Amino acid sequence: NAGVTQTPKFQVLKTGQSMTLQCAQDMNHEYMSWYRQDPGMGLRLIHYSVGAGITDQGEVPNGYNVSRSTTEDFPLRLLSAAPSQTSVYFCASTLDTSADYGYTFGSGTRLTVV
Amino acid sequence: EDKVVQSPLSLVVHEGDTVTLNCSYEVTNFRSLLWYKQEKKAPTFLFMLTSSGIEKKSGRLSSILDKKELFSILNITATQTGDSAIYLCAVKGAQKLVFGQGTRLTINP
């Protein structure tokens, strides 16, 4: 199994550009989420989805859009990149949100906005 | 608002020392508490705790949860330089996994 696959691994954007970070999982996980990690701040939840067609905002959603048209894919869109969005982004998934299941993380995307 | 707080934020010790990392939380509809180790890349899973007072162990690492006082500790005995990492505590609520800020642990030889 590939697990959770994130692409690209690195990206440099100019301020105002748009782009999509890709996340795909092959474990038939219903729940998927996006986090950003900045130095000294742990991981902060951007958006999450509890199943295909259902998304909701996390702690820091501004400047990001998501959609969940299939169970496997959960792309994160930056509409107009800003330097404040320079961060490392992680996608994570779990089978469901009961107590018994842990989360699987992708390897991360390091994004720099100049 | 859901909140997970870790302490200390940074810790430097010598190889062979024992360390205790702390995690307190206020999360709606608590399901479980998870500990992760993060080196260069993605967090890697260490423990999942759901019941109070039951210690989980893996080699030199152990962890316990207190659901009455809303905290957990992660102990590492006989530390090694390979234990140097950021240790993340996360609490699984009804629909979200909420992370603390992490503890950066440095083990000096």
Backbone φ and ψ for B18, nearest 5 degrees, come out as -105, 135
d(CA B103, CA A90): 19
Strands annotated E in chain A = 4-7, 10-13, 19-25, 31-37, 43-51, 54-57, 64-66, 76-78, 87-94, 104-105, 109-113
Taking only the tens place, the pLDDT of each residue in B15-68 is: 999 999 999 999 988 989 999 999 988 899 999 999 899 999 999 999 999 999
Give residues with Cβ within 8 angstroms of B69, minimum separation 6. Answer: none
* CB atoms near residue B19 (< 10 Å): 18
Taking only the tens place, the pLDDT of each residue in A12-61 is: 999 999 999 999 999 999 999 999 999 877 899 999 999 999 999 999 99
Quick one: average pLDDT of B2-6? 93
Interface with chain B: mutation pick from A50, A91, A105, highest number of B CBs within 10 Å:
A105
Arithmetic mean of pLDDT over chain B:
94
pLDDT at position B55 is: 93
pLDDT at position B28 is: 87
Find the DSSP H helices in chain A: none
Q: Could B94 and A33 be called an inter-chain contact, meaning their C-beta atoms sit closer than 8 Å?
A: no
Q: Could B42 and A90 be called an inter-chain contact, meaning their C-beta atoms sit closer than 8 Å?
A: yes
